[in-house]
């Protein structure tokens, strides 16, 4: 199941030439993963943290295809590409809303970390896999 976010490129997202600064893409991708986790999987990240579990990024791969520019409207698609025993791999595609041209394609791997020990869980906590499997059954 995909989650869609709409993004407008503002001045703060660009360099002096009106081209999106590479770090802005990372902010948008982070927001997309948070929205997917909360809206699709139904998990509250703040509550997860209070309960002792974080989902930090441990690997990030991006392919820049076409620069986005000032005042463009973009669509960010976020989905789970793979649910491993100890990690979640998200696939994210950002494209121009008007032309459908792809700006970036990225994969992001997150693991579950115990906030008390700062160590990675050997397996994703059951509540995460249950939430994913429940949504996968609905698709």
Question: Of residues 13, 15, 44, 130, which has the active-site annotation?
Answer: 15
Distance set, CA 42 to CA 45, 99, 129, 131, 135 (Å): 9, 32, 12, 7, 9
Q: Of the candidates 38, 27, 139, 45, which has an alpha carbon nearest to the alpha carbon of residue 94? A: 27
Is residue 15 part of the annotated active site? The answer reads yes
| Catalytically annotated residues | 15
């Amino acid at each position: 199941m995909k989650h869609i976010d709409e993004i407008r490129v503002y001045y703060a997202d660009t360099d002096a030439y009106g081209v999106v600064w590479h770090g802005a893409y990372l902010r948008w991708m982070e927001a997309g993963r948070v929205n997917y986790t909360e809206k699709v999987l139904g998990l509250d990240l703040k509550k997860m943290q209070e309960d002792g579990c974080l989902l930090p990024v441990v690997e990030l791969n991006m392919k820049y295809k076409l620069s986005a520019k000032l005042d463009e409207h973009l669509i960010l698609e976020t989905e789970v590409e793979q649910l491993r025993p100890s990690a979640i791999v998200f696939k994210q595609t950002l494209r121009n809303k008007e032309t459908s041209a792809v700006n970036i394609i990225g994969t992001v791997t997150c693991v579950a970390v115990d906030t008390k020990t700062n160590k990675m869980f050997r397996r994703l906590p059951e509540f995460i896999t249950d939430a994913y499997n429940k949504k996968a059954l609905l698709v």
